[in-house]
A and B are shown apart, each in its own frame.
Chain A
Amino acid sequence: MSKRGRRVGMAIAAAAILGTFAYLVYGGIGENLVYFLTPEELMARGDRAYDVPVRLGGQVVPGSVVWNAQAVDLRFAITDGAKTVPVHSSGAPPQMFRDGIGVVVEGRYHRAGVFESTSVMVKHSNEYRAPKHGEKPAEMYRSLTTGSEE
Chain B
Amino acid sequence: MTRILGASAVLVAFGVAIAGMVMAIVGTRLRRADIVRGAYTAAYVNFGLLALASLAMVWALVTHDFSVSYVAQVGSRSTPLFYTIISLWGALEGSILFWGLVLAGFTAVAVWRGTRGTHGAAHADIERLMPYATAILLGIGAFFYLLLVMPANPFRAVFPVPADGPGPNPLLQNHILMGIHPPLLYLGYVGMSVPFAFAMGALLAGVKGGAWIQLTRRWTTAAWMFLTAAIIAGMWWSYEVLGWGGYWAWDPVENASFLPWLTATAFLHSAMVEERRGMLRVWNLSLITATFALTILGTFLTRSGILSSVHAFAEGDIGYWFLGFIAIVLIFSLSLVAGRSDQLRTEGRLDAVASRETAFLFNNLLFSVFTFTVLLGTLFPLVAEAVRGVKVSVGEPFFNSMTLPLCMALLFLMGVGPALPWRVAPRDIVRRELAVPAVLAVLVALAVGLLVGGGVYAIVTFAFGTFALAVNLRQFSTGARARMRAHGEAPPVALARLIGGNRRRYGGYLAHIGAIMVAVAVGASSAYKSETEATLRKGETMSLRGHTIRLDELWGRQEPQRFVLGADVTVLRDGKPAGRMDPRLNFYQTSEQPITTPAVRSRASGDLYLNLMAVERDGSTATIRMIVEPLVPWIWAGGLIIVLGALITVTPSRQRARRSLPVAAPVRPPLVPGAAPARPLVIADPDTRGAAP
Give chain A's interface residues, CB within 8 Å of chain B: 3, 6-7, 9-10, 14, 17-18, 21, 24-25, 28-29, 31-37, 53, 55, 69-70, 72, 91-97, 101, 121-131, 136-138, 140-141, 143-150
The stretch that binds A, out of B180-188, B316-324, B553-561, is: B553-561
Count of chain B residues with a beta carbon within 8 Å of a chain A beta carbon: 56
Cβ A143 vs Cβ B533 within 8 A: no
Cβ A32 vs Cβ B395 within 8 A: yes
Cβ B563 vs Cβ A96 within 8 A: no
Cβ B393 vs Cβ A55 within 8 A: yes
Cβ B590 vs Cβ A6 within 8 A: no
Given contacts A6-B353, A35-B392, A124-B591, 6 further A-B contacts (CB under 8 A): A6-B350, A32-B398, A91-B533, A141-B617, A145-B556, A147-B559
Cβ A137 vs Cβ B395 within 8 A: no
Cβ B619 vs Cβ A92 within 8 A: no
The stretch that binds A, out of B195-203, B369-377, B520-528, B638-646, is: B369-377
Shortest Cβ gap from A5 to chain B (Å) = 10
Shortest Cβ gap from B390 to chain A (Å) = 7
Residue B259 at the chain A interface, CB threshold 8 Å: no
Cβ A150 vs Cβ B397 within 8 A: no
Chain B 586-641 interface residues, beta-carbon cutoff 8 Å to A = 587, 589-594, 613-615, 617-619, 621, 623, 625
In Å, the complex CA distance between A18 and B555 comes to: 57
Assuming the contacts A29-B377, A34-B394, asked whether A72 and B535 have C-beta atoms less than 8 A apart, the reply is yes
Q: Which residue of A lies closest to B170 (CB)?
A: A126
By a CB distance below 8 angstroms, the chain B residues around A136 are 563
Sample of 13 A–B contacts (CB below 8 Å) = A14-B365, A24-B402, A33-B392, A36-B391, A37-B391, A95-B593, A95-B614, A124-B592, A124-B593, A129-B590, A137-B587, A138-B563, A141-B563
Chain B 279-321 interface residues, beta-carbon cutoff 8 Å to A = none
By a CB distance below 8 angstroms, the chain B residues around A55 are 393
By a CB distance below 8 angstroms, the chain B residues around A147 are 556-559
Cβ B533 vs Cβ A92 within 8 A: yes
Cβ B394 vs Cβ A128 within 8 A: no
Assuming the contacts A6-B353, A124-B592, asked whether A34 and B390 have C-beta atoms less than 8 A apart, the reply is no
By a CB distance below 8 angstroms, the chain A residues around B466 are none
In Å, the complex CA distance between A16 and B330 comes to: 29
By a CB distance below 8 angstroms, the chain A residues around B361 are 10
Majority secondary structure, B binding face: mixed
By a CB distance below 8 angstroms, the chain A residues around B587 are 137
Residue of A3, A32, A97, A143 contacting most chain B CB atoms (<10 Å): A32
Assuming the contacts A96-B592, A124-B591, A138-B563, asked whether A143 and B398 have C-beta atoms less than 8 A apart, the reply is no
By a CB distance below 8 angstroms, the chain A residues around B376 are 25, 29
Residue B682 at the chain A interface, CB threshold 8 Å: no
Residue B169 at the chain A interface, CB threshold 8 Å: yes
Cβ A137 vs Cβ B592 within 8 A: no
By a CB distance below 8 angstroms, the chain B residues around A17 are 365, 369
By a CB distance below 8 angstroms, the chain A residues around B209 are none
In Å, the complex CA distance between A17 and B592 comes to: 48
In Å, the complex CA distance between A137 and B619 comes to: 12
Residue B585 at the chain A interface, CB threshold 8 Å: yes
By a CB distance below 8 angstroms, the chain A residues around B372 are 25
Cβ A122 vs Cβ B592 within 8 A: yes
By a CB distance below 8 angstroms, the chain B residues around A36 are 391-393
By a CB distance below 8 angstroms, the chain B residues around A128 are 166, 589-590
In Å, the complex CA distance between A87 and B288 comes to: 49
Cβ A34 vs Cβ B592 within 8 A: no
In Å, the complex CA distance between A126 and B618 comes to: 28
In Å, the complex CA distance between A98 and B390 comes to: 29
Cβ A146 vs Cβ B614 within 8 A: no
By a CB distance below 8 angstroms, the chain B residues around A32 are 394-398, 401
0 or 1 for each of B253-264: is its CB under 8 Å from A? (1 = yes) = 000000000000
By a CB distance below 8 angstroms, the chain B residues around A29 are 376-377, 380, 394, 398
Assuming the contacts A17-B369, A95-B614, asked whether A34 and B393 have C-beta atoms less than 8 A apart, the reply is yes
By a CB distance below 8 angstroms, the chain B residues around A7 are 350
In Å, the complex CA distance between A17 and B349 comes to: 22
Residue B534 at the chain A interface, CB threshold 8 Å: yes
In Å, the complex CA distance between A93 and B593 comes to: 12
Cβ A69 vs Cβ B621 within 8 A: yes
Cβ A138 vs Cβ B392 within 8 A: no
Cβ A137 vs Cβ B556 within 8 A: yes
Shortest Cβ gap from A7 to chain B (Å) = 7
Cβ B369 vs Cβ A21 within 8 A: yes
Shortest Cβ gap from A29 to chain B (Å) = 6
Question: Which of A33, A70, A72, A96 meets B384, CB within 8 Å?
Answer: A33
Residue B138 at the chain A interface, CB threshold 8 Å: no
Residue B271 at the chain A interface, CB threshold 8 Å: no
Question: Which of B377, B391, B558, B614 meets A148, CB within 8 Å?
Answer: B558
Shortest Cβ gap from B357 to chain A (Å) = 11
In Å, the complex CA distance between A35 and B385 comes to: 11
By a CB distance below 8 angstroms, the chain A residues around B393 are 33-34, 36, 55
Cβ A144 vs Cβ B585 within 8 A: no
Q: Which residue of A lies closest to B377 (CB)?
A: A29
Q: Which residue of A lies closest to B566 (CB)?
A: A144
By a CB distance below 8 angstroms, the chain B residues around A130 are 589
Cβ B402 vs Cβ A138 within 8 A: no
By a CB distance below 8 angstroms, the chain B residues around A9 are 353
Cβ B623 vs Cβ A69 within 8 A: yes
Give the 3 A-B residue pairs with the shortest CB-CB distance, closest first: A32-B398, A147-B557, A144-B556
Question: Which of A21, A37, A127, A144 meets B554, CB within 8 Å?
Answer: A144
Residue B133 at the chain A interface, CB threshold 8 Å: no
Cβ B369 vs Cβ A18 within 8 A: yes
Shortest Cβ gap from B23 to chain A (Å) = 44
Cβ A150 vs Cβ B353 within 8 A: no
Residue of A35, A37, A126, A131 contacting most chain B CB atoms (<10 Å): A126
Cβ A146 vs Cβ B555 within 8 A: yes
Q: Which residue of B lies closest to A144 (CB)?
A: B556
Residue B229 at the chain A interface, CB threshold 8 Å: no
By a CB distance below 8 angstroms, the chain B residues around A131 are 589
In Å, the complex CA distance between A17 and B225 comes to: 30
By a CB distance below 8 angstroms, the chain A residues around B396 are 32
By a CB distance below 8 angstroms, the chain B residues around A129 are 590
Q: Which residue of B lies closest to A18 (CB)?
A: B369
Residue B190 at the chain A interface, CB threshold 8 Å: no
Residue B152 at the chain A interface, CB threshold 8 Å: no
Residue B110 at the chain A interface, CB threshold 8 Å: no
Assuming the contacts A24-B402, A35-B392, A147-B557, asked whether A140 and B617 have C-beta atoms less than 8 A apart, the reply is yes
